Structure 1
Amino acid sequence: MASPQYAPKDEDAKWLTPGVASLGAASFFSDAGHEIATSVMPAFLTSVLGGSAAALGLIEGVSDALTGTMKVIGGPLANDPARRRRLATGGYIITAAATAAIGFATAVWQVGVLRALAWAARGVRSPARDALLGSLARPHTFGRAFGLERAGDNLGAVVGPLLAAALVAWLGLRPAIWFAFVPGMLAAVAIIFAAREARALPTGVRRPIRLDVQGLRRAGIGRPLLPVLLFECGNLATTLLILRATDLFTTLGFANAASLAILLYAGHNAVAALIALPGGFWLDRVGPRRVFASGAIAYVLAYGLIALASIHWVFAVAGFLLAGAGVGLAETAESALIARILPDELRGSGFGVVGGIQAVGNIVGTVVAGVLYATASPAAAFTYAGAWMLLSACAARVFRAPASSGQNPG
């Protein structure tokens, strides 16, 4: 992992290799595909299949839990270069097929099974994709490489819902979900291209499947996990943000309020996409600590504005956009730091552990905030989440690569 912080300009200009670009494209197409299905699924489940909001909540809760679990399981599997290529490719294909198959469901339980399968595949492929990107990118360009991948993912979350709205108006609910297969398979093609480029890299001996906890600890991953956990405890599910916006605009009628809330969500994702790549360039210059701390502070400000949004709707708009900036910076910093700290043979495990921490933190934070939202007030819920983000920003001083790695500790 030892490498200089800066590289000659001719080398620096070559950061956007075909493999790095393909991984960014894969994230964009995949997220656009499953966001189409995610946007349509509530209406499909309730109006077509006769399901309830409780059933939708159970399906989404189980699926999200599976994603986090499979990230932890998939991490050690992704330590081996040959295996990570297969996991990434297979994961994207299964996610695309299972997501589109929801459109053929005739019962609520079928939707649950297919959603769980898609989200499990999405979880197991995630460490493999990130480890693959770490092997294709140069160490001094990890920030911009992971920033591009995060930008693609968030841009897909903007395009997907917009495509879903157009497809439902044009074709109906079921065909709109079927269409999710198209961007999903484009993502699979992109990841296959990246895997072929990675196949040309030297791989060494075949690596065993095991979570090398001692190896991760010696590499220095332990301390940076504290600010990550604190951050994820405050990183509320976007559904709570959408609920807050819907409540604020109810005087305009429920349909108009829901539409405005979705537009704000799209704006949140657009800002995340726009800031992730510049944040990655900034990270390559100053290190991940400042970028991560800036993301946490952006969230503190965002939640403060959303908590006060009943005073004026402008606060809600500003809060949504600041939250988008926060996620664009922090997620890029988390991924780049793991790639900087860990050698290739441990990166899969590292990304898997971080994925598990993200899932646990998200569940804990969102559940408590949801209870506060319902029993106390929305302001109490977002103040609670903002407190976690403030703690994360304070703890960010340990969010750095150890000096022995040869990287700028930043």
Structure 2
Amino acid sequence: MKYITKAIWILSIVSLLTDTASEMLYPVMPIYLKAIGFSVVLIGVLEGVAEATAGLSKGYFGKLSDVMGKRVPFVQLGYTLSAVSKPLLALYAFPLWIFFARTLDRFGKGIRTGARDAILSDEATPATKGKVFGFHRAMDTLGAVIGPGLALLYLYIYPQDYRTLFLIAFIPGLLAILASLLLHKEQAGFSTPKAKINFFSFFGYWKYSPPAYRRLVAGLLVFALFNSSDVFLLLKIKQAGLSDTAVIGIYIFYNLVYALFAFPAGIVADKIGLKKMFIFGLALFAGVYFGMSANNSLYVYLLLFLLYGMYAAATEGISKAWISNITNKQDTATAIGTYAGFQSICTMVASSLAGLVWYSFGASATFIFTGVATLLVIVYLLLFVTYNPDTSMQQV
């Protein structure tokens, strides 16, 4: 564990606390939104817009972090905005206000993500990227176990009291802000020519990025184009007749699996190769979506969410580790942010499209469509994308 430095520990604890706050609300959000009049289509649009905001701002602020040569201020500001957004959700039930509060949360995520991932990358070597990103994802996702657990306990005592839950979620968010202050404010360790950038200037990175980056990201973006929000998985099991408690319980189970497998997946990925681990994860994803297309029992849903947790562990941190290993160190935040920017557009389309397909053809069509598309992405990665990290790129 000597490769888990102080900075990695701090970032991981901050992420754990923030995810505790966010995930207290995530599994109840679709239930709450439907209760105040949101349709399935509008929920899809909300999630799409929120994720698009996060992704596009990841690109801009990732580029800005590289240009300024600073990381910590972006991390601290981003976590602060996300924490503040939680109690705002409790103030009003108007759709526009909900859009604003949810978007503010995602905007905070966009500000911090590129800089945070760049710090993680700087603290690792090409041979330990899987472990480092896996450890961070494990800690982050542990918050996704604690958060829903607290929500489940609270709603058991105070059924349907969602607004108070939004206020309670501010507490771990505030602790995350305080923990982020332990990070040392220092230069990122390199100098980049200063240039005026606009909100979309990070897209220019695509033109001069390494060919290996473009090939990989092309496949990841096609996958993102069909990978809608997890809200639809929760809606599916809710539609199957499960109680609110069961829905939250299954979501906790999924995140527990994710948290337990993320670090081991990173260790294995460093040994067998990030590409093999990532493709394994996509195969699990396809299997889960095909399984979700049918009406199943509680036990089958538990199995599917077990596999879904393993998929997340095998892909989320691994994709960032892969990207950081095939790009220049001084462009790490830009590279990850550019991918996130393009991904945000795809995610917005994916969530909106999923809502429309669900509304027009039913839930089964939505999941089958995504499963087939994922299999095509696997074929593309196997045939056209290689994993040959250039360690010289990781030198300052």
Query: Is TM (by shorter chain) over 0.5?
Result: yes
Q: Please, which of 152, 167, 170 is the counterpart of residue 139 of structure 2?
A: 152
Q: Does 1:180 pair with 2:169? A: yes
| Aligned-partner residue type, residue 133 of structure 1 | L
Q: How does 1:200-211 map to 2 (within 5 A)?
A: 202-204=189-191, 207-208=194-195, 209=197, 211=202
Q: What is the rounded CA distance, in whole Å, between the counterparts of 2:15 and 2:319 in structure 1?
A: 17
Residue 25 of structure 1 is matched in structure 2 by 13
Residue 56 of structure 2 is matched in structure 1 by 69
Residue 267 of structure 1 is matched in structure 2 by 253
Task: Tell me if the contact between 1:144 and 1:284 (Cα under 8 Å) persists in the aligned partners.
Answer: yes
Following superposition, the deviation at residue 138 of structure 1 comes to 2.7
With over 3 angstroms needed to count, the CA separation of the structure-2 counterparts of 1:106 and 1:295, relative to structure 1, is closer
Following superposition, the deviation at residue 275 of structure 1 comes to 1.4
Which range is displaced more, 334-343 or 226-235? 226-235
Q: Please, which of 341, 347, 364 is the counterpart of residue 349 of structure 2?
A: 364
| Aligned-partner residue type, residue 381 of structure 1 | T
Residue 230 of structure 1 is matched in structure 2 by 222
Following superposition, the deviation at residue 39 of structure 1 comes to 4.5
With over 3 angstroms needed to count, the CA separation of the structure-2 counterparts of 1:36 and 1:139, relative to structure 1, is same
Q: What is the rounded CA distance, in whole Å, between the counterparts of 1:339 and 1:222 in structure 2?
A: 13
Following superposition, the deviation at residue 67 of structure 1 comes to 1.5
* Superimposed CA distance per residue, residues 132-185 of structure 1 (whole angstroms, 9 cap, x where no aligned partner): 211222332111111122222322222212212333455754432222222112
Percent identical among aligned pairs is 25
* Superimposed CA distance per residue, residues 260-295 of structure 1 (whole angstroms, 9 cap, x where no aligned partner): 222222222221222111111112112210011000
Q: Does 1:353 pair with 2:338? A: yes
Q: Does 1:191 pair with 2:180? A: yes
Residue 330 of structure 1 is matched in structure 2 by 315
Residue 233 of structure 2 is matched in structure 1 by 241
Q: What is the rounded CA distance, in whole Å, between the counterparts of 2:139 and 2:216 in structure 1?
A: 25
- Normalization by structure 1: what TM-score? 0.83
The RMSD of aligned alpha carbons is 2.8
Task: Tell me if the contact between 2:55 and 2:341 (Cα under 8 Å) persists in the aligned partners.
Answer: yes
Task: Tell me if the contact between 2:12 and 2:139 (Cα under 8 Å) persists in the aligned partners.
Answer: yes
Task: Say which SS state the counterpart of residue 224 (structure 2) adopts.
Answer: helix
Note the residue ranges of structure 1 that are not aligned, 5 or more in a row.
1-12, 251-255
Q: What is the rounded CA distance, in whole Å, between the counterparts of 2:313 and 2:128 in structure 1?
A: 17
Residue 278 of structure 2 is matched in structure 1 by 292
With over 3 angstroms needed to count, the CA separation of the structure-2 counterparts of 1:25 and 1:89, relative to structure 1, is same
With over 3 angstroms needed to count, the CA separation of the structure-2 counterparts of 1:214 and 1:61, relative to structure 1, is closer
- Normalization by structure 2: what TM-score? 0.86
Note the residue ranges of structure 2 that are not aligned, 5 or more in a row.
none
Which range is displaced more, 206-215 or 313-322? 206-215
With over 3 angstroms needed to count, the CA separation of the structure-2 counterparts of 1:284 and 1:189, relative to structure 1, is farther
Residue 138 of structure 1 is matched in structure 2 by 125
Q: What is the rounded CA distance, in whole Å, between the counterparts of 2:69 and 2:287 in structure 1?
A: 44
Residue 100 of structure 1 is matched in structure 2 by 87
Residue 253 of structure 1 is matched in structure 2 by none
Which range is displaced more, 94-103 or 140-149? 94-103
Residue 3 of structure 1 is matched in structure 2 by none
Q: How many equivalent pairs are there?
A: 383
Task: Say which SS state the counterpart of residue 352 (structure 1) adopts.
Answer: helix
Q: What is the rounded CA distance, in whole Å, between the counterparts of 1:220 and 1:278 in structure 2?
A: 26
Q: What is the rounded CA distance, in whole Å, between the counterparts of 1:290 and 1:45 in structure 2?
A: 39
Task: Say which SS state the counterpart of residue 342 (structure 1) adopts.
Answer: coil
Residue 113 of structure 2 is matched in structure 1 by 126
| Aligned-partner residue type, residue 396 of structure 1 | L
With over 3 angstroms needed to count, the CA separation of the structure-2 counterparts of 1:207 and 1:176, relative to structure 1, is same
Q: What is the rounded CA distance, in whole Å, between the counterparts of 1:214 and 1:101 in structure 2?
A: 37
With over 3 angstroms needed to count, the CA separation of the structure-2 counterparts of 1:94 and 1:139, relative to structure 1, is same
Q: Please, which of 257, 269, 289 is the counterpart of residue 243 of structure 2?
A: 257
Residue 7 of structure 1 is matched in structure 2 by none
